[in-house]
Every structure is written in C-alpha cells, then in structure tokens.
C-alpha cells in the first residue's frame, strides 16, 4: 500500500454494493480511496464509506503504528468519503478536520462536528506537515458546492476527490504503473472494469469505459465547473492523480486529463448511441435494424433498451458519441415514459452539440417523433432527418433505416 515514502494508500474495495447512490449499477464494484501522508505530522485524505471499519483501521495502523493523525482533510463531504469521520475522531482525539467553509454545515449536519473540530481553509491556503506542504484549491460544483482538491507539491500529487474517478474495484493493483496484467493473450484470465481483456490492456484501456460512465452519471451536469477547476489547476505540473474512486494515475495522467477535458466540453467521438423504448417490439425491431445497418458500414454504435436497462450506460454513450438515434412509440399522445425519462436525464446533464434522429411506431395517431424533435431543437441538437413514424407493425417498407443510415454517414464524414 506504499505509493511513495510519504503517501500510503488505505482505501478499500466494495464488491458487494449493487447500486452506487442508490441508482447506478456496480457490475465491477467500486473502490473507496483514502490516503495517508506521513511527514512530521500526519494527514489523512478523506475517509471511506461505512461497512469497512475494521479493514480501514487495520490498514491505517499498519502504516503509522502508534502515531496519531493530526489532520483529516475532507475534499468532499459526501458520505461515501466521510462516513467514518466520527469513528476517527473517537480513536484519534485531537485530530483536526480540514475542509472548505461550505463543507462545515454538512459536517455538522452529518456527524455533529463543532467549530472546534474544524479548520476552514480558503482557496489557496497552505498547511505545513513539516517537510512538505499541502495547498488547497476550492473546486465548487465538481460535483458538490463544498468540494476542493489538495496539492502535495513535494510529490507533484493531486488528491482530486471525485474528479478523475471511475467505477470499478481495484483488482489488479492500485496504481496504473503496476496495472498491466500478465495473462497470455487470448486466455481472458482476468475480468476488468471494462470486461474480459486479453492481457494487453493497460489501466486506462481497462477503466476508460467506467471513467466515462462515472463522469456522465455523477459529474456530467457540471462541465462548466470542471472547466473552471481545470483552468485553476493548469499551472501545476501534475505527475500523479489520487482520485477518490478508481486507479491512481501516474503513467496515464495526460490521457486522463485529456479525457476529462473532452467530456467536460461535451465533445464526443464519431459514433451513434441508439436508445429506445418499446411496448410490443416494433420500435425495438426498428432500432435493431438501424444498428445492423450502421455496423455494416463501420460506424461505431451502441444499442440500449430503455425499458429494461438502467440508463447508466446509455448516458455514458451519449457522452461518448456525437449522434443520438432515439426510438419511442407514441404513448397516450406523447413519448413513451422510459424514453421521456432518458430525455430528462440528458437535459439535466446539459448535454449539447449532438446530432439527432428520431423514430418510432404508433397505432392511430403519431406524436412521439414530433415531440422528440421538439426536444432536440430546444436543446440545440442538429436534427439530421425529420424522423420516421411508422404505423402499427414494423416492416422495412414502413421504416426505411437505410435512408437514416445514409443520413448519419453523411453527417459523420
């Protein structure tokens, strides 16, 4: 668990929780990352979620023995990072909690802390640990108003809170410098956060899907705040990013920063996210045929059934790809409710700059395609085609997916 002589990892893996924040699936688990900085004084960066108290305290004791913890740095007050604050205050009396001023009401409300327990730090404040200093940078709305990041200049290390985080437990090591697995190509011996791999994937390749999903699900609404934070930190020469979830980035810092910059600008790569809801299978059949047509000409495509899937992965792919093809039957004169909920989730994340195509079936009066186009126009999407409404059962004659495919191909040239 030694990252450097100063920095020690004391986080844990959670492979039991099914839903993060009670919403987002965790098929590969999640890590709760916590860090010790051992100098003349000792600082602990964030705690972890409840349920791992014994393991957590054992790891801390192994790293510092009988020494006390002087400071507990709270980069983010959300309970998955702060749940064990009260426990630590009982075990290490005299520990001083260091947080941004906006975190103080939260810490009082969650854990009953008093003013005497907390040192409020302003943006740019420094704290000496003896031979090294910590500098605190406020990063509000990345992704709560009280968030900050902590800079350890002596190690060129940024403790970034939820920023640069990823879903997925750390099953192959905690840093990307030791992440490359040695299983022979083709044997698929290990399971990563992105599924089976063949022994050639590095940490970034293994975790980029879960990083995009984490960003789109948790942080996606706050792209402008992320951009402000990245500009504020741009003068730092960052050699290591210690996030609150996912791998510690050392070799791949540049790629991770570039991905975050792209996502927070709402920029996307060429490809199509097809998402649909279907009552009796007709809109679903249209969606599958569109996916086949696009795949046959080499356009990257993902297909999501909004009636049965959690929207987590479809949100990931609306951030990944620059084109959304959305299918909905007309339902009660409107949009099918799962599709409408997906549109609401996109709107809440302020996604912009996407190409858009709508399609869907109806029984006696078409409405869904018109309403989905109205949404797309309102949110500044580029409507590539008026869309296809087809009556009753699907057939290639009623629902010309070859035409939609050609329109998309022209847009992506």
Domain spans of the chain, in order of start? 7-264, 269-412
Dihedral pair phi/psi, residue 243, rounded to 5°? -85, 170
The pLDDT of residue 285 is: 97
Low-confidence ranges of the chain (pLDDT < 70): 178-201
Quick one: pLDDT at residue 172?
78
Structure tokens at 77: 């007050």
As a three-state string, the secondary structure of 262-299 is HHHCCCCEEEEEEEECCCCCHHHHHHHHHHHHHHHCCC
233: which 2 tokens? Answer: 């930190």
Enter the CATH code of domain 7-264: 3.60.15.10
- The pLDDT assigned to 201 comes to 58
Report pLDDT for 189: 38
pLDDT value, residue 187: 40
- Give the dihedral sign, CA 18/315/76/29: positive
pLDDT, tens digit, for every residue of 229-264? 999 999 999 999 999 999 999 999 999 999 999 999
The CATH superfamily assigned to 269-412 is Flavodoxin domain (3.40.50.360)
Buried b (16+ CB within 10 A) or exposed e, 279-317: eeebbbbbbbbbbebbeeeebbbbbbbbeeeebbbbbbb
Quick: pLDDT tens for 341-366: 999 999 999 999 999 999 999 999 99
DSSP assignment, residue 218?
I
Instruction: DSSP letter for 215, please.
Output: I
Among 18, 233, 237, residue whose Cα is nearest residue 137: 233
Pairing of strands 301-305, 269-276: parallel
Q: Give 248's DSSP letter.
A: B
Within this chain, domains 7-264 and 269-412 share the same CATH topology: no
What is the pLDDT at residue 76?
Answer: 97
């Amino acid at each position: 668990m030694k990252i450097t002589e100063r920095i020690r990892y004391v986080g844990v893996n959670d492979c039991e929780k099914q839903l993060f924040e009670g919403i987002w699936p965790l098929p590969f688990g999640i890590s709760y990352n916590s860090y010790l900085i051992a100098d003349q004084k000792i600082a602990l960066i964030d705690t972890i979620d409840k349920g791992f108290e014994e393991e957590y305290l054992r790891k801390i004791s192994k790293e510092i023995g009988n020494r006390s913890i002087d400071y507990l740095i709270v980069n983010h007050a959300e309970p998955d990072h702060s749940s064990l604050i009260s426990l630590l205050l009982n075990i290490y009396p005299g520990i001083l909690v260091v947080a941004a001023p906006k975190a103080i009401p939260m810490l009082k409300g969650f854990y009953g802390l008093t003013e005497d327990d907390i040192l409020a730090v302003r943006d740019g404040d420094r704290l000496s640990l003896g031979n090294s200093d910590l500098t605190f940078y406020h990063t509000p709305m990345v992704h709560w108003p009280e968030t900050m990041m902590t800079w350890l200049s002596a190690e060129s290390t940024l403790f970034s809170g939820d920023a640069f985080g990823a879903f997925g437990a750390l099953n192959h090591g905690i840093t990307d410098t030791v992440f490359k697995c040695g299983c022979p190509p083709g044997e698929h011996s290990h399971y990563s956060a992105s599924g089976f791999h063949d022994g050639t994937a590095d940490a970034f390749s293994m975790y980029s899907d879960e990083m995009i999903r984490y960003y789109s699900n948790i942080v996606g609404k706050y792209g402008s705040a992320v951009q402000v934070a990245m500009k504020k930190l741009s003068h730092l020469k960052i050699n290591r990013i210690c996030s609150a979830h996912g791998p510690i980035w050392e070799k791949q810092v540049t790629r991770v920063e570039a991905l975050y910059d792209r996502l927070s600008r709402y920029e996307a790569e060429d490809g199509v996210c097809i998402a649909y809801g279907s009552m009796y299978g007709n809109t679903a059949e249209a969606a599958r045929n569109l996916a086949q047509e696009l795949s046959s000409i080499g356009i990257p495509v993902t297909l999501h059934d909004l009636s049965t899937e959690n929207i987590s992965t479809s949100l990931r792919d609306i951030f990944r790809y620059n084109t959304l093809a959305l299918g909905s039957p007309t339902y009660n004169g409107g949009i099918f409710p799962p599709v409408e909920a997906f549109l609401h989730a996109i709107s809440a994340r302020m996604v912009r700059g996407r190409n858009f195509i709508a399609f869907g079936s109806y029984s006696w009066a078409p409405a869904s395609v018109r309403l989905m186009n109205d949404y797309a126009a309102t949110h500044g999407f580029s409507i590539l085609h008026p869309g296809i409404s087809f009556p009753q059962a699907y057939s290639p004659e009623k629902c010309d997916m070859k035409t939609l495919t050609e329109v998309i191909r022209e847009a992506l040239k």
